[in-house]
Chains A and B, each alone.
Chain A
Amino acid sequence: MSDTGLPAAIEALRRVREDPHRLGHRAHGAEAPVEGAGHGATGPANKRIVVGYGFWIFLLSDIVMFSCFFAAFAVQRDATAGGPGPRDIVELPRVALETGALLLSSYTCGLSFAATNARNKLWTQIFLLITGLLGLAFVGLELQEFISLASRGITPQRSGFLTSFFGLVGLHGLHVTVAGMWLATMMAQVQLKGFRREIIHRLICFNLFWHALDIVWIGIFTIVYLMGSGA
C-alpha cells in the first residue's frame, strides 16, 4: 500500500481516489475522510490540491474557447467562396510529422514529471529540454505550413473557410508557443531554485497544460486534417 514512496498525505489521497467507496479497504486504511484533501468537512484543502484543481478548471475553460473555434470551423467548412477547399490545403506528411513531434513531446513531458517526482534535477531538465525542442519543431513545421500556403495565395483573407482554418490551427499553435515560453521559464526556475514547493506546483500545471494541448491537437488533426483530406 505505501510502497509507492509517495508522501503519506499523497498516498492517502491516492487511495481515496482509486477507491472512493472504500470497497477494498474495509479492514485497514483511514476510515475518516483524509484531512487536507478538501473533501466534505475536513477544512480547506492543502495548496497542492488547490493549485491543481484550479488549473484543471482553467483547462476546462480553455477547452470551451477551443470549442468555439471548432464550431466556427464546422460552420464555415463549406464557405470556400470559390477558393481552395480542405483538400487543397491539407498536406498529410507534414501533419504526420507535427503529430509525431507533439505526441512524443507529451511522452517526454510525462517522463520529466516522473523525474520531478523522484526529485531528480538532471533528468527533469533533460526531458523538459527535449519536450521543448519537440514543441519548437512542431511550431516550426506549422509556421512552414502557413508560409507555404501564403506563398500560394492561400491566406485567411481569402474565404470564411480559410479564416476558420487558420484561426483554429493558429490558436493551437499560439498556445504551444506560449507553453514553450512557459517551459523555458520553468527550466530556468528549476535550475536556479530547485524543487521548491511552488515550483513543483507550477510544474504540475505546466504538465497538465502541455498534455491538454496535445489532446486538442488530436481533435484538430482528426477534424481538420484527416476529415478534410478525405471529405
Chain B
Amino acid sequence: MFGKLRWSAIPIDQPIPLITSVVVILVVLGVLGLVTAKGWWPYVWREWITSVDHKRIGIMYCALGVLMLVRGFADAIMMRTQQAVAINAAGYLPPEHYNQVFSAHGTIMIFFGAMPLVIGFMNFLTPLQLGVRDVAFPTLNSVSFWLTASGALLVNVSLFVGEFARTGWLPYPPLSEATYSPGVGVDYYLWAVQIAGIGTLMTGINFVTTVLKMRCPGMSYLRMPMFCWTTLSASLIIVAVFPILTATLAMLSLDRVFGWHYFTNAAGGNPMMFMNLIWAWGHPEVYILVLPAFGIFSEIFPTFSGKPLFGYRSMVAATLFICVVSMMVWLHHFFTMGAGPAVNTFFGIASSVIAVGTGVKIYNWIFTMYGGRVRLTVPMLWSLGFIFTFVIGGMTGVLLAVPPADFLVHNSMFLVAHFHNVIVGGVVFALFAGLDYWFPKAFGFRLHEGWGKAAFWFAFFGFWITFAPLYVLGMQGMTRRLQHINIEEWRPMLYVSAFGVAVLAVGVVCQIVMLVVSIIKRDELRDVTGDPWDGRSLEWATPSPAPFFNFAVLPNVEGEEAYWGIKLRAIETQQLSPEPKYEPIEMPVNSSVGFYTAFFASVTGFALIWHIWWLAGLGLAAAFAGFVVFAWRDVHEFHVPVEEVARIDRARRAAREAFLARLAQQGALP
C-alpha cells in the first residue's frame, strides 16, 4: 500500500539527521505559524506564491538559493571538521553518514544553491535591462520556480524520511545502480534533480525567447547590456544540455526501478556511457553558472569605474565563443578513463582554448578600469577579489586540462580546490557582488556597507585559508571523499583548512548581520531616486523597487548604455525628457498553476522514490488535470488604467526631478 515506506525510514538511530530534522521542522512550523497568526496568507498567496512577475520570481529564486547555500555550507563544515578529526581515528561521522553529507553538499550547492541564484538574477534583471515588462512566458516562469523549489523540498525531506544518495553529487554507476546502492538515497537524488531540471529547462526556453524576441524599441543586439548577452548564452546552453541530464537520469531511474541495463555491470550495460552523457551535461552546466556571473561583473566594473565597458564587441564574441566551446570539452572530466592519447589531446586542447575567451574578458575588465574613477564599494571589492581568485582557479583548470598532469591529480584534493576556486571565486563572489548591487532595486534600500565589507574580507581570506591547503594536499597524493585519513602527513593542511572554514563561517554570519542591520536601518539606507550607484543600464531608470509594469512607456533606445544616454541628456538640458503619452497597460494575471504543479510533482517524486505506484499515478493525473484547468481560463491579462500608470510614473518623475535639482545644487552639472 505504501510501497517501501515504513516507520523505520525515519532515522531515529542516527542523532545528527534526527536532531537536524526536528529543528528544521520546528522552524518551518514556526514560520508558517507566524504567517498564519499575522494574517499574512492572502498577501503571501497573492503577491508571491501565485505571482508571475519576473521580479518577484527572481527574488524567490534568490531567497531559495541563499537558504540552500547555508544548508550546503553546514554540510561543508561537517566535512572539513570530520576530515580534521578523523586522522588515524574514526571521527564523528560514520561512512554511511559522511558519504551522504558530501553528496548532499555538492548536489545542494550546484542544483539548489548556485543555479537558483543565477536564474534568480537572470529573472530579475533581464526584462528590466531589455526595457520590457516581463519575460516571454510569465506563467511558465512561475512553474519553473516552483518545480525547482519542489526539487529542493525533496532533497531536504530525505533528511528525515529515508536517506540521501551516498555516491557523490553525480551518481556514477555501477555504484549508483540498485546492486550497490539499494537504498532510496539515489532515488531521492534522481527525482529531486529531475524535477528541478525540468524547471530549469523551461527557464532556458523562456530566456532564449525573451532575449531574442522581446527587446524595447531601438535595442538591437549590439545595444544590449552584457548581462543580457550572458543570459542568452547561458539559456542557450541550458536548452542544449539540460535534456541530456533529463535523459541520463531517466535512464538510471529505469535501471534502478525496472532492472534495465543502460549502465549496469551485467547484461551489456555500459557505465562509461553514463560518464560521457552526464559530463556532456555537467561541463556546460558550470558555464551556465559562470557566464551570468561574468555578466554581473560586466555591469559592475563599468558602473564603479565611471566609464563604459571596454571592448563590448570583444566581450560578446568571447561570451559566444565560450558558450559554443563549453559543449566540446566534457571528456576532461575523465582523462584517466583510458580513451587514448588522440582523444585526450583533442579534449585537452579544447579545454585550454576556453581560457582564451575567459582571458579576454579578464583583460577587458581591467581595461574598463583604465582611465576611470574606481569607487571601492562592496560590489567592487567582490569584483577585485574575483579577479585574483578566479584567475588562479582558471590557471589550475588549464593545468588539469593537460592530461599527463591530470593523471597525477585527477579526483584529488587538487581538483576539489580547483573547482571551488572557480565556483566560489567566480560564481559565488559574483552573486554576492550582484546581491549588494541590485538589492536596492529589488527592495528600495541599500545594504549596510560596513558589514558588507566585513563579509567580503572574511569570505576572501576564509576561502583562501580553506582551499589553498587543499591544493597542497592534492599534490601530496590525497584523494577526495575520504571519510577518514590514514596518513599522518596530511594532518597540518587539514587543520589549516578546517580553520579556514571557521573564517568563512564568520563571513556568513556577517552577511546575515548585514541583512538584519540593513532592514532595521532601512530608512537611513533608503534609495530615493532609483539610481543609487550612478548606473548605466535601463534598470536604473526605474524607481526602487520597480513598479510591477517596469516601465510606464517602453524606452526608445539609441545607443549602448541606454540609461546613461538618457541621464546625460537630462543633466545637459537640466530637465527630464518631456512627459510621455501614457497609455493603458495589459499585464498577465497571477496563476496558481506553478504552485499546484510543483505540489503534485513533489507528491509524484516522493511516490516514485518509495515505489508507491498508485500515488505516483495519482500525482501525475492531478498535475495533468491542473494543466487542463489552467488552459481553460478565460482571463489572461488584467488592465491597468491610464490614470494608474500616470500616477505611478509621475511619482517617479518627481523623485528624478528632485535628484536632478540636487545634482545642480552640488555643482555636479556642467
A156-B258 contact, Cβ under 8 Å, with A38-B214, A44-B215, A79-B269: yes
B147 smallest CB distance to A (angstroms): 15
B490 lies within 8 A of chain A by Cβ: no
B244 lies within 8 A of chain A by Cβ: yes
Contact of B214 among A45, A75, A161, A181 (CB under 8 A): A45
Closest residue to B219 on the A side, CB-wise?
Answer: A41
- Please report the C-alpha to C-alpha distance between residue A162 and residue B209 in the assembled complex, in whole angstroms: 38
Chain B 193-208 against A: per-residue CB contact (8 Å), 1 yes, 0 no?
0000000010011101
Chain A residues in 8 Å Cβ range of B248: 68
Closest residue to B558 on the A side, CB-wise?
Answer: A41
**Which of A23-31, A48-56, A89-97 lies at the interface with chain B?**
A48-56
Closest residue to A157 on the B side, CB-wise?
Answer: B259
Chain B residues in 8 Å Cβ range of A162: 261
- Please report the C-alpha to C-alpha distance between residue A54 and residue B139 in the assembled complex, in whole angstroms: 13
Chain B 588-611 against A: per-residue CB contact (8 Å), 1 yes, 0 no?
000000000000000000000000
A54 touching B205 by the CB < 8 A rule? yes
A167 touching B268 by the CB < 8 A rule? no
A144 lies within 8 A of chain B by Cβ: no
B228 lies within 8 A of chain A by Cβ: no
- Please report the C-alpha to C-alpha distance between residue A131 and residue B240 in the assembled complex, in whole angstroms: 30
A81 smallest CB distance to B (angstroms): 4
Chain B residues in 8 Å Cβ range of A57: 204-205, 208-209, 239
B268 touching A81 by the CB < 8 A rule? yes
A72 touching B246 by the CB < 8 A rule? no
Chain B residues in 8 Å Cβ range of A88: none
Contact of B628 among A72, A159, A161, A185 (CB under 8 A): A185
- Please report the C-alpha to C-alpha distance between residue A198 and residue B631 in the assembled complex, in whole angstroms: 9
A202 lies within 8 A of chain B by Cβ: yes
Chain B 202-243 against A: per-residue CB contact (8 Å), 1 yes, 0 no?
001110110011111111100100000000000000011111
Closest residue to B223 on the A side, CB-wise?
Answer: A41
A160-B262 contact, Cβ under 8 Å, with A38-B212, A53-B213, A81-B267: yes
Tell which of A53, A58, A68, A157 has the most Cβ of chain B within 10 Å. A68
- Please report the C-alpha to C-alpha distance between residue A60 and residue B242 in the assembled complex, in whole angstroms: 11
A181 touching B254 by the CB < 8 A rule? no
A61 touching B242 by the CB < 8 A rule? yes
A161-B268 contact, Cβ under 8 Å, with A54-B137, A167-B262, A185-B631: yes
B58 smallest CB distance to A (angstroms): 19
Closest residue to A42 on the B side, CB-wise?
Answer: B217
B85 lies within 8 A of chain A by Cβ: no
- Please report the C-alpha to C-alpha distance between residue A163 and residue B257 in the assembled complex, in whole angstroms: 13
- Please report the C-alpha to C-alpha distance between residue A93 and residue B628 in the assembled complex, in whole angstroms: 37
B132 lies within 8 A of chain A by Cβ: yes
B557 touching A202 by the CB < 8 A rule? no
- Please report the C-alpha to C-alpha distance between residue A50 and residue B440 in the assembled complex, in whole angstroms: 31
Closest residue to B242 on the A side, CB-wise?
Answer: A61
A54-B206 contact, Cβ under 8 Å, with A61-B242, A189-B631, A198-B636: yes
Chain A residues in 8 Å Cβ range of B244: 64-65, 68
B267 touching A160 by the CB < 8 A rule? yes
Contact of A43 among B212, B217, B273, B628 (CB under 8 A): B217
B218 touching A41 by the CB < 8 A rule? yes
Tell which of A43, A81, A159 has the most Cβ of chain B within 10 Å. A43
B336 lies within 8 A of chain A by Cβ: no
B241 touching A64 by the CB < 8 A rule? yes
- Please report the C-alpha to C-alpha distance between residue A181 and residue B219 in the assembled complex, in whole angstroms: 41
B624 lies within 8 A of chain A by Cβ: yes
User: CB within 8 Å of A: which of B426-468?
Assistant: none
A207 lies within 8 A of chain B by Cβ: no
- Interface bin, chain A: 35 or more
A164 lies within 8 A of chain B by Cβ: yes
B247 lies within 8 A of chain A by Cβ: yes
Chain A residues in 8 Å Cβ range of B261: 79, 81, 156-160, 162-163
User: CB within 8 Å of A: which of B117-166?
Assistant: 132, 136-137
B377 lies within 8 A of chain A by Cβ: no
Contact of B273 among A61, A62, A72, A181 (CB under 8 A): A72
B554 lies within 8 A of chain A by Cβ: yes
Contact of A61 among B201, B215, B634 (CB under 8 A): B201
B268 touching A65 by the CB < 8 A rule? no
A76 lies within 8 A of chain B by Cβ: yes
A75-B259 contact, Cβ under 8 Å, with A61-B240, A202-B631: no
Chain A residues in 8 Å Cβ range of B557: 41
- Please report the C-alpha to C-alpha distance between residue A166 and residue B132 in the assembled complex, in whole angstroms: 46
- Please report the C-alpha to C-alpha distance between residue A36 and residue B112 in the assembled complex, in whole angstroms: 37
- Please report the C-alpha to C-alpha distance between residue A57 and residue B220 in the assembled complex, in whole angstroms: 21
Closest residue to B201 on the A side, CB-wise?
Answer: A61
Chain B 614-635 against A: per-residue CB contact (8 Å), 1 yes, 0 no?
0000000000100010011010
User: CB within 8 Å of B: which of A133-185?
Assistant: 156-164, 166-167, 181, 185
B305 lies within 8 A of chain A by Cβ: no
Closest residue to B202 on the A side, CB-wise?
Answer: A58
B277 lies within 8 A of chain A by Cβ: yes
Q: List 24 A-B contacts (CB under 8 A).
A: A38-B215, A41-B220, A43-B217, A44-B216, A53-B213, A54-B206, A54-B208, A57-B209, A61-B204, A61-B239, A62-B243, A65-B247, A68-B244, A68-B248, A80-B268, A81-B268, A156-B254, A156-B261, A159-B268, A160-B270, A167-B251, A167-B260, A167-B262, A189-B632
Question: Which B residues are within 8 Å of any A CB, using their own CB?
Answer: 132, 136-137, 201, 204-206, 208-209, 212-220, 223, 239-244, 246-248, 251, 254-255, 258-262, 264, 266-270, 273, 277, 554, 557, 624, 628, 631-632, 634, 636
